[in-house]
Chain A
Amino acid sequence: MTPAPDLVIDGTATIDGATLFASLTLTLAAGQWSCLLGGSGVGKTTVLRLIAGLETGAEFTGTVTASDGLSVPERVAYMAQSDLLLPWATVAQNVTIGARLRREKPDLARRDRLIERMRLQDHLHKKPAELSGGQRQRVALARTLMEDRPIVLLDEPFSALDARTRADMQDLAAEALQGRTVLLVTHDPGEAARLGQSIVVMTQHGLTPCQPPHAAAPRNVDDLETLETQGALLRLLREEAA
């Protein structure tokens, strides 16, 4: 794995001539969690997909650059709201799917370490349908970590989970993805306040950077400053929408 770089995405996007987002510059600091917070339809997922080099359906004019000058899409790992586990494959196979898709030999020792870290050792040979929502997202996280990429793109990965499981997953992900350049796209102010080392609110009018709480992420769910930040972020979202 190359060291985690800074990422800068700079440009405008249109869909069929209509502006999705006007001239925008988003900087993701190397080795840090950046949270991009916004309502539905403001184009935050488009930003993430542009970085990943995925089809967006939008016309993007601009650049995505890494501070080390190397290409970006080959160095991202991607995790979506849906766990994207292959229903016909076991947990073990799902975790190593990346290597098999590249015709490489999967590093089984590494897989077993990750499986253990995600507390999935009892489920190695189960199919995804036999797991709970939280377990499935842990498998997805193990698969993401298996890729061992310096840049990790998370598209609302915890939004379908119940509150307790979501908090657990946030802790686990924050710890596991330390040192990587992480972009977390979310519509949940609480999540951004807990995890963001930098927080940016995205609306139709553009990006508004926000001061993250001082405590180190992942912050406690009952940390006062974190709760205040959550409130401030929500207020900002509502004002911008009005």
Chain B
Amino acid sequence: MKYLSAIAATLFAVAVWQAIVSLTGLPKFILPGPALVAETWWQNRWLIAEHTWITGVEVVIGFACGTVLGVITALQLADSRAARVLVQPMLVFTQALPVFALAPLLTLWLGYGLWSKVAMAVLIIYFPITSSFFDGLMRTPTGYLDLARTMQASKRTVLWHIRIPAALPSLASGMRLAAVYAPIGAVIGEWVGSSQGLGYLMLLANGRAKTDLMFAAMLTLGVFSILLHMVVRRATARMAGDGH
């Protein structure tokens, strides 16, 4: 049923798209139709695959690093009041900065290649991961903590046996959000400075009025993001307690 509705929605979107193209008669460098985009995609499949691979590597490394960093930060924050006082305002402040504005700096510091994009993806997912996991850690049901107290539990063992497991569903939702954000981060990085990746390809195609190729790259990015989201969703199902 879920798949059926997804297929139906896709078909509907393609039909609307085709209808707009047919009715308005827009030239193909403004709005190419679905058939043309599909054709271009097929003709350029190896080119697109190559750039998708680059972006994919950036996203996966960024996702992994961002998750690890976010988890460590959340644990530190949950464990120490001093860390909360010092670090939390800073975290919020960094969120107030437009990530886009940092992209050129990252390129300056980390170069033109992989790592500036990884850093970009990390920056964009670090906050959702940290804050969702941290919230989960701070919202342990008080009954568990009472019980642990009467059992003479130490702070460490409560964290390990109760607070972390109780916060895993929150971490899972943070990771699911991050799976959608991470590709955006990588692509922003590619826009600002790169010679490879789907973001680069989109920019290049756009500059040369190859709007059909631009669409093909963009849709590929969309499909990649959805696939990543599905993989992460599946991978975090146990954490989120979906099975219960």
A101 touches B165 (CB 8 A): no
Taking a contact as CB atoms closer than 8 A, the residue among B147, B152, B154 that contacts A84 in the complex is: B147
Is B28's CB within 8 Å of the partner chain A?
no
Q: Which chain A positions have C-beta within 8 A of B81?
A: none
Is A127's CB within 8 Å of the partner chain B?
yes
B150 touches A52 (CB 8 A): yes
Is A147's CB within 8 Å of the partner chain B?
yes
B153 touches A102 (CB 8 A): yes
Q: Which chain A positions have C-beta within 8 A of B147?
A: 78, 80, 84
B226 CB, nearest partner CB in chain A, Å: 29
Is A98's CB within 8 Å of the partner chain B?
yes
B81 CB, nearest partner CB in chain A, Å: 17
Segment 61-95 of A: residues with Cβ below 8 Å from B: 73-74, 76-78, 80, 82, 84, 86-89
Is A206's CB within 8 Å of the partner chain B?
no
Is A100's CB within 8 Å of the partner chain B?
yes
Q: How far is the CA of A54 from the CA of B162 in the complex (A)?
A: 17
Q: Which chain A positions have C-beta within 8 A of B158?
A: 101
Closest residue of A by beta carbon distance from B151: A98
A77 touches B150 (CB 8 A): yes
B151 touches A147 (CB 8 A): yes
B150 touches A54 (CB 8 A): yes
B105 CB, nearest partner CB in chain A, Å: 42
Inter-chain residue pair count (beta carbon < 8 A): 61
A84 touches B144 (CB 8 A): yes
Given A78-B150, A87-B241, A87-B244, answer yes or no on A101-B157 (Cβ-Cβ < 8 Å). yes
B14 CB, nearest partner CB in chain A, Å: 42
What are 11 A-B residue pairs whose CB atoms fall within 8 Å in the complex?
A54-B150, A74-B152, A76-B150, A78-B150, A82-B143, A84-B144, A87-B241, A97-B151, A101-B148, A101-B158, A103-B157
Q: Mark B132-161, 1 if CB is under 8 A from A, else 0.
A: 000000000001101111111110011001
A226 CB, nearest partner CB in chain B, Å: 31
Is A216's CB within 8 Å of the partner chain B?
no
Q: Which chain B positions have C-beta within 8 A of A87?
A: 241, 244
A79 CB, nearest partner CB in chain B, Å: 9
B170 CB, nearest partner CB in chain A, Å: 13
Q: Mark A87-120, 1 if CB is under 8 A from B, else 0.
A: 1110000000110111100000000000000000
> Which of A73, A82, A88, A101 gathers most chain B CB within 10 Å?
A101
Is A129's CB within 8 Å of the partner chain B?
yes
Closest residue of A by beta carbon distance from B238: A88
Q: How large is the interface on B (under 10, 10 to 19, 20 to 34, 35 or more residues)?
A: 20 to 34
Closest residue of A by beta carbon distance from B239: A88
Given A86-B165, A88-B165, A88-B241, answer yes or no on A102-B144 (Cβ-Cβ < 8 Å). no
Q: Which chain A positions have C-beta within 8 A of B144?
A: 84, 86
Closest residue of A by beta carbon distance from B146: A54
Is A53's CB within 8 Å of the partner chain B?
yes
Given A86-B162, A97-B161, answer yes or no on A103-B154 (Cβ-Cβ < 8 Å). yes
Given A80-B143, A97-B161, A101-B161, answer yes or no on A127-B149 (Cβ-Cβ < 8 Å). no
> Which of B143, B144, B147, B153 gathers most chain A CB within 10 Å?
B147
B146 touches A78 (CB 8 A): yes
A102 touches B150 (CB 8 A): no
Give the 4 A-B CB pairs with smallest separation, nearest first.
Answer: A101-B153, A78-B150, A98-B151, A101-B157
Q: Which chain B positions have C-beta within 8 A of A101?
A: 148, 151-154, 157-158, 161-162
Closest residue of B by beta carbon distance from A103: B157
Q: How far is the CA of A88 from the CA of B165 in the complex (A)?
A: 7
Q: Which chain B positions have C-beta within 8 A of A103?
A: 154, 157
Q: Which chain B positions have C-beta within 8 A of A98?
A: 151
Taking a contact as CB atoms closer than 8 A, the residue among A55, A74, A129 that contacts B244 in the complex is: A129
Q: Which chain A positions have C-beta within 8 A of B149?
A: 52-54
A103 CB, nearest partner CB in chain B, Å: 6
